Structures are given as structure tokens and as C-alpha cells.
Structure 1
Amino acid sequence: MRADISESNKLAGRALPSKRLLCSEPLGWQSMLARTYRDPDVTDEFTTVASSELTLVVALSGTMQIESRKGRGWHRANYRPGSAGLTAPGNVSVLRWKSTSPYPLESLHLHLPVDEYWAFDSLLLEDPLVAAAGNALKRALQQSAPEYYAESITQMLVAHLMYTANNKPAVEPLAMGRSGLDQVTEYMRAHLSEDIRLDELAALVSVSKYHFLRMFTRATGQTPHRYLTELRMARAAEMLRDNDKTVLQVAIACGYRSPGQFAAAFRRRYGVSPTEFRNFG
């Protein structure tokens, strides 16, 4: 598979509010254009540049809440390492995002040739194969891998995406409304030290807890419990950096009554204990 790297693809990166780190052009890859970026923690609304190829963006590190505007409404998703987004050839996206973790945001942007008409975009694609391919291509860029390696991954990715296109995840609107979702998430942030029940969150937007669970998960890509855990872990990391409070005080402030439970949750999220994070973070 061979593809000319169009001028529009070369210009696409200039519309991004991000710093380019690695690029496949000096390596002579012809099957795809691949670039990695260090992304800012927060962005204002901006519009991407249309590409003549399928654009696949894979999150490499950090977590963020990203929004895409369609007409007058915004659609929202939560990205973690391995999350991806698709933009069809010729389409543009209006985006904004904000980081939800203390770790830097890095992403891989791929421009892939598709032989068939590709008509849809996807704000959030959670696919283990795409995530693995993203990490492999990052290493390939770092190690100056040859064209045949990039070409083999290009063929695999395009075939996989075309095969799964009929099962693409739909980008759903914010069913409870932007203001309702913001009200819920702000309530979570304000009560991180407390036991927050599903029914009290549902009461904020006047729906049953079962309907709320479906709406919240559809709008954010996470269950309320997982979203709340992410908020608590981000707050814990922030507090541990300040060194003003003990680990026990941080645990209690983030809603954990047991230091062991807090330490286990923190290690699952960051890969180190709270004490190790404080000492080396």
C-alpha cells in the first residue's frame, strides 16, 4: 500500500494547539503520515484542517475530557491512554478539551489511506487493537523503524477499521443536557470527601437512578462510580504534591475511610503508592 502525503495532511498539524514531538516524514514512510504531539492541558475551541485521508488520533498518555461541536450542540467523551477518535476524509472537527489528570497529555495522529468511501466520524473509539497499534507506532517513530514496518501496520489498521465500521460506536448527545451534566459533575467535585449515592445524583437532574446511570454513561463514556473515582484520584494527586497533609488526611478528604482502600485505588490508577508518588512525583 502506497500513499502520497498530501499538502493538506502536512498542514493539518498547524491547526492544532499542540507541540509536535515526532514525525514520520524524515523516516521516509509513504504508507501513512504519523506524528506525536504534546497536548496542552486546556484548550479553547478550535477547528481542525480537513485531511484527504482518514485521520485517526490515539491518546498515548494522560486523561482528558474532550468535546466536539456538531451544529449548536456539543458531544463529550473521556479519553484515557488507548482511546481514539476518527475523522473521515474531507471532514473537519470543532474541538476543545481539558486534562483530568496530573500527567502530561500526549497523542498520536495518523493519516491513513482508505480505498473505499468513508462517511462517518467517531469522537470516541475504545478498541484494544487500535490502542496497541498506537503504542507500537510511537515506538516505531522513536526507533526510526523502516517503511515496511509502517506499511504492515497501516494495512492492518485500515483493514480492521473497515471491517468494524458497521459496528462503530455512536456519538450520543448529552441526553440530560449540558447544564444538567455540569451540575452533577460539580456536585461530585464539591462532595469528594462524602459517600455519594447514585440516587442523590439522579435527583439533581430529576430522573430515576437507572435512567441517570444510562444517560451519564452515554454522555461521559464512564459510569458515575468510575468518573467519581477519577475525580478523587486527581484530587488526591494534587493534595499529595502539596505535602501539607498526611496520607490519611488525603484519603479522608477524597472519600476513603480506609488507608488501605485508598492506597489500593491510588496504585491501580497511578502505578505507585501515595507515599511513593509524594516522594518521587
Structure 2
Amino acid sequence: MVEAGLPSRLIRSSDALGWRSVRALTYVDPVVAEPFVTTAEGLLVVLVTSGRYHIESRHGSSWRAAAYRPGSIGVTAPGNASVLRWHGARPEAMESLHLQLDPAAAAGVAFPDALSLEDPYVTASARALGEALTTGAPALYADALAQGLAAHLAHLAGQPTRRHRNERAAALPLSVAQVRRVADHMRAHLGDNLTVGDLAAVVRVSKFHFIRSFALTTGLTPYQYLRRMRLEAAAELLRRTPHSVASIALRCGYRSSGQFARAFRAEYGLPPALFRQ
């Protein structure tokens, strides 16, 4: 489902990737958009990825304007309706990435609408999620990025939720037994599309607490830990079994042989086939 009222053409969506904390969509935007109304169900972050716009947003009877270029960010708070219009500065392709953060992740974030937001972390996080959409990254990676982005926006607003404040203050290392339970769950589900929520439920803590506590304990994010475990399992299968590279990729949680080969080479310095030889 595309955003209601948006005059743009959808070209890619994260709907088939199993992401839970964020929905990512890329659009081709028309050169000219007459005034239209769109409403954000969750916390909406828009990243311009191509083209230059002169965009305006109406509040009451007055219009606010901003110049958009690749890297520009706009934010709409949950439940807010926006009246927008724009025209391209040049007759060239214009594209944008829309990140709809899970309302549960963004709940309580008292962030005002921002037609143009300058923040390196938000821009870098949005670009990382755009790359994750393009490469079909697993839910665990995308959800961790989305959680961090929502928490950063809450921090910018200066009004994080009471629940998140308490969790940040109470973040402590996980016990050895808790890390072992998480690792065992990862090992048993290497081929599954695990999420932060799945892993947090194993040790019965919130997603926000789990991400920070896991990294505090292991020195790795949950995604980095799982990625290492998957690649170690893949290396062992390459050494000891006749299974094809494609089947090993699927067993170890990779959606394609190409995605697996890139990750494996980055870790071991060789593509899977040469490693096996």
C-alpha cells in the first residue's frame, strides 16, 4: 500500500522482506506536484535520493518552503496531515525514499514536523536503510537501524518517552546464560529471517534494552553477531559437505548466492567456491 494522496510512482517496497520496525518505499516523483494531502501513520522520514525540488508545506493559510537536493530530509510526526506541493528545479529524474517507522517504535516521540532537517545521523541512517532495501537485507539489520533512528529522533526532540528514558538508564550487560540462550536461538534459526524482537523475546527484555545490552556484553550488535555465526557455519559446510553454494547460502540465512558471496568474501577474503577448493 502506497501513501494515500501521494502523486508519486512506487518502484520498490520492503513489504516482502519481513521487516517489522520500518516500512521502506522508494518512489519516482513527478516534476510538478499540485497541492495534495498526505497523512503519516507512523513517524515518516523522507530522504531525497535524486533530483532537486522546490517544495512547500502549508500550515493554515501560510506556506513554508525548502530547497530539496539529494540527501535532504523531511520528517512528519505520527498522525499529522501535510499539504504539500513542489516543482523540480531541473527537468531530471526525481526519486525519494520514504521510511515509515513502526508506530510502536515511534510512540511518544514528540517530534514536530520538519520540512527540512539537517542532521548527519538521520541522513546516514536513512541512506543505510535505502541500501538495505536495495540489497534485500535481513529484518534484524533493518530493524536495528530503524530502532536507532527512532531513538535519535526522540533525542533530538528532547522529549523521549518515559519508558525509553528508564530503559537507557537501566541498560546493563546480559548474563552469560542470556547470551548463550540468544546464541542457541540464532544457531537453531540460521536460515530464518530473525528480527530484534525475536531475539529480545528469548531473554524477555524489550527491543531497546536488548540492542544496547547485547552490544555492551559481546562488543557486537545482534546483526554482527548473527552474521559472524552464519558465515562460520557456512565455512564449515563448505569444508565438510558437498552441498552447493546456493543451498549453503539458504541454510545460512542468505536470500541469494550473490548476497552470500559478497558477505563471505568480505569475511574470509575469498569467494565461497575458492574457499572450498
TM-score, length of structure 2 as denominator length: 0.54
How many angstroms apart in 2 are the aligned matches of 1:123 and 1:133? 18
Q: Residue 260 of structure 1 corresponds to which residue in structure 2? A: none
1:31 and 2:21 are equivalent in the alignment: yes
1:90 and 2:79 are equivalent in the alignment: yes
Q: CA deviation at 1:119?
A: 5.0
How many angstroms apart in 2 are the aligned matches of 1:64 and 1:154? 26
Matching residue's letter, 1:29: W
Q: State how 1:1-281 maps to structure 2 within 5 Å.
A: 10=1, 13-51=3-41, 53-112=42-101, 113-166=105-158
Matching residue's letter, 2:30: P
Relative to structure 1, is the Cα distance of residues 103 and 135 closer, same or farther in structure 2, using a 3 angstrom cutoff? farther
1:86, 1:121 within 8 Å by CA — same for their partners in 2? Answer: yes
Gaps of 5+ in 2: 160-277
Cα RMSD of the aligned pairs, angstroms, is: 1.7
1:82, 1:130 within 8 Å by CA — same for their partners in 2? Answer: no
- Residue 106 of structure 2 aligns to a residue whose secondary structure is coil
Q: What CA deviation, in whole Å up to 9, does each residue of 1:157-204 have, x standing for no partner?
A: 11111111149xxxxxxxxxxxxxxxxxxxxxxxxxxxxxxxxxxxxx
Matching residue's letter, 2:39: V
Q: CA deviation at 1:152?
A: 1.2
2:45, 2:100 within 8 Å by CA — same for their partners in 1? Answer: yes
1:60, 1:106 within 8 Å by CA — same for their partners in 2? Answer: yes
2:109, 2:153 within 8 Å by CA — same for their partners in 1? Answer: no
How many angstroms apart in 1 are the aligned matches of 2:151 and 2:10? 28
Q: CA deviation at 1:83?
A: 0.9
Q: CA deviation at 1:108?
A: 0.7
Q: What CA deviation, in whole Å up to 9, does each residue of 1:42-72 have, x standing for no partner?
A: 1100000341x11111111111110001101
How many angstroms apart in 1 are the aligned matches of 2:80 and 2:127? 25
Relative to structure 1, is the Cα distance of residues 117 and 142 closer, same or farther in structure 2, using a 3 angstrom cutoff? closer
2:40, 2:78 within 8 Å by CA — same for their partners in 1? Answer: yes
**How much identity, in percent, do the aligned residues show?**
47
Relative to structure 1, is the Cα distance of residues 40 and 88 closer, same or farther in structure 2, using a 3 angstrom cutoff? same
Matching residue's letter, 1:101: R
How many angstroms apart in 2 are the aligned matches of 1:133 and 1:55? 13
Q: Residue 197 of structure 1 corresponds to which residue in structure 2? A: none
Q: CA deviation at 1:135?
A: 2.0
How many angstroms apart in 2 are the aligned matches of 1:93 and 1:33? 19
How many angstroms apart in 1 are the aligned matches of 2:26 and 2:16? 14
2:50, 2:96 within 8 Å by CA — same for their partners in 1? Answer: yes
Gaps of 5+ in 1: 1-9, 168-281
2:35, 2:84 within 8 Å by CA — same for their partners in 1? Answer: yes
Q: CA deviation at 1:87?
A: 0.9
Q: CA deviation at 1:31?
A: 1.2
Q: CA deviation at 1:118?
A: 2.3
TM-score, length of structure 1 as denominator length: 0.53
How many angstroms apart in 2 are the aligned matches of 1:104 and 1:37? 11
2:109, 2:154 within 8 Å by CA — same for their partners in 1? Answer: no
Q: CA deviation at 1:32?
A: 0.8
Matching residue's letter, 1:150: A
